[in-house]
A and B are shown apart, each in its own frame.
Chain A
Amino acid sequence: MTRDIAVVAFAQTDHRRTSEDLSEVEMLMPVLHEVLDRTGLKTSDIGFTCSGSSDYLAGRAFSFTLALDGVGAWPPISESHVEMDGAWALYEAWTKLLTGDTDTALVYSYGKSSPGSVRDVLTRQLDPYYVAPLWPDSVALAALQAQALIDEGYTDEPALAAVAARSRADAEANSHAQLRGSVPQGDYLVRPLRTGDCPPIGDGAAAVILAAGDRARELCERPAWIRGIDHRIEAHSLGVRELTDSPSTRLAAEKAGAFERPVDTAELHAPFTSQEVVLRKALRLGDDVRVNPSGGALAANPIMAAGLIRIGEAAARIHRGESDRALAHATSGPCLQQNLVAVLEGEPRHAQ
């Protein structure tokens, strides 16, 4: 790596069950303004803009082009879009900054799950020949993984309930979260997963600003330097994968340098309680690591933004001096199919 690149600002919406009063751009725009305000930058100061979203969620074709209205994209800006979680948009922006073409990037993502039935919508990302015709919904696939973990003795229902309770208790301190405080574990949705093991369905958006080198130091008192970032994917056939492990997460973490020194904080994108069990194991996180102080995806899971929010939350803790070295993880696809790991660091506080 030839340049140091940092997350210098982060903003997110209050995540809600529905935002039917707002179009996507109306939901997104306040977050774009907030993240720019934090740095004092204007759209015209940003060298590269990259976004992540999926038209399938709200059933609106080319919604990402309409969302660009909220950026102020005229005269034309340097811009890109991924049909992926915003964490992957951040990855693209990071590589763009590495080229040295520009010093600042705006990354945003948003998802409105409320207009559709997200469990069914997500079946459309599956293998169209052998799997999608069966319409296995997202909870069902996570439940197959959870049962495999239980069968192999990695967890049990009380342990999963404890993950749910800890996440929502931590979310008490996060005013943006959708599910906070005491949330009943509820009935089985797809056994062995209960409603409490599953993420809330909701709408939301997030945005991050990246900056390189001295520009980052100008824009942020304590930049969250990206020491490494990598993403890996597993075979698409569920029956080929070892569902109780996440070799792709482990490899991404290794490539991102996560195992070189311990982290104090980890923001894990685990929409289901059972997936936190898999990730802790794959990432070898000890009990001394603060996992998901934001409440994680179990407290707010705006699809397409929830992974970017993990990076944003980890960075914000570094900005605030609450963490010195944090791991952020994002996932995509069924049962943690694709995983991204970023390692963020703040400069030593005594040196400031």
Chain B
Amino acid sequence: MTTEILKAPLVVEFPFTRSLGPVQSAFLTGLRERVVLGVRTTDGRVLVPPVEYDPVTADELRDLVEVAPTGTVTTWAWNHAPRRGQPLDTPFAWVLVRLDGADTALLHVLDAPGPDAVHTGMRVRVRWAPERTGAITDIACFEPHDSPSAGEPPAHEGQFESMVTGIVAQARLDYTYSPGRAQTAYITALADRRIVGERCPSCRKVYVPPRGACPTCGVATSEQVRVGPGGTVTTFCIVNIKAKNLDIEVPYVYAHIALDGADLALHGRIGGIPYDQVRMGLRVEPVWTEGGGYPDHYRPTGEPDADYETFKELL
């Protein structure tokens, strides 16, 4: 059977809340106050952006210095097509900038009219974001700026009023989800109110839902087998906590259901019976709602309960 491969958009999006160490806290708070801090290593080099531990010796680093908001481009790359989340939405150069007073370079972007206006060795300065929160994006970007290089960076205590102690970093990734051959066939059949598993050619077990492989034998399953619609509750639990955005009254029963002809139980909600009367061995059948695409829940068929011996291997 050939079916069109199913696809659907999938967005994975979450905020990461991260705490800051003392050096990171001073650096990011400094950016909020339009001050760029570096950290001095034991051998006297100044690292910007500053880190908590020396990348070579692993020494704990705490001696902060204030470097200039001006510096020199050490390498660059022209990005003619800005992507979502990047600091500028017009074409820009990615740059590594060694700020005056620093011995290492900071990654950021440079606002320039075009690639011909950018070269390694060019002088730039920080353009501050109008709204600053204590984040690397408090530097809106760099901009070309002719200025002499500044001298030795003065020490800085790294203390400001109301220090930033954490950041919240938003992350969003967009995918096009495709479930593959076996699950596409399963989902497509469900839309027709048929439950179709796949049989392992080696051990003959029928998997529902099928994932394309028999996890015992490590071979592809391909022979499609219609199962159910009737099935047996093998085990269950009573849910007492309402899930967010779920329009089901608690308590309700969530069960493992061995559909007739299947060698693996799937899970589903049990309805049409008080929650405290659900039991192992209860015979159930799927209930489909109009245009649902999959069983909304399972309800008792009224048949006598299945004998424990008939489903104990499926527990």
Contacts and interface: CB of A to CB of B under 8 A. Distances in A.
Interface of A: 20-26, 29, 32-33, 43, 56, 58-60, 66, 68-74, 114-117, 119-121, 123-124, 128-137, 140-141, 143-148, 151, 188, 190-193, 235-240, 243
Contact of A188 (B7, B78, B135, B217): B78
Interface string B109-137: 10000010000100000000000000111
B219 interface: yes
B242 interface: no
B244 to A, nearest CB: 18
12 contacts: A66-B211, A69-B211, A69-B218, A72-B218, A74-B215, A117-B173, A130-B49, A132-B169, A134-B86, A147-B75, A238-B105, A239-B107
A4 B177 CA distance: 44
Nearest to B207: A69
Contact of B137 (A25, A68, A134): A134
A135 B86 CA distance: 5
Contacts of A133: 85, 135-137, 167, 169
B225 interface: no
B76 A144 contact: yes
Interface stretch (B61-69, B180-188, B272-280, B300-308): B180-188
B51 A116 contact: no
A190 B94 contact: yes
Nearest to B85: A135
Nearest to A21: B5
A70 B213 contact: yes
Contacts, number: 189
Interface in B162-176: 167, 169, 171, 173-176
Interface of B: 5, 7, 10, 12, 16, 18, 20, 24, 28, 47-49, 51, 55-56, 74-80, 83-87, 94-96, 98, 104-109, 115, 120, 135-137, 167, 169, 171, 173-183, 211-220
Nearest to B11: A59
A116 B77 contact: no
Contacts of B75: 144-145, 147-148, 151, 243
A171 B30 CA distance: 52
Listed residue (B28, B96, B183) with the most chain A CB atoms within 10 angstroms of its CB: B96
B84 to A, nearest CB: 7
Contacts of A193: 77
A263 B109 CA distance: 42
A132 B179 CA distance: 30
B174 A137 contact: no
Contacts of A24: 180
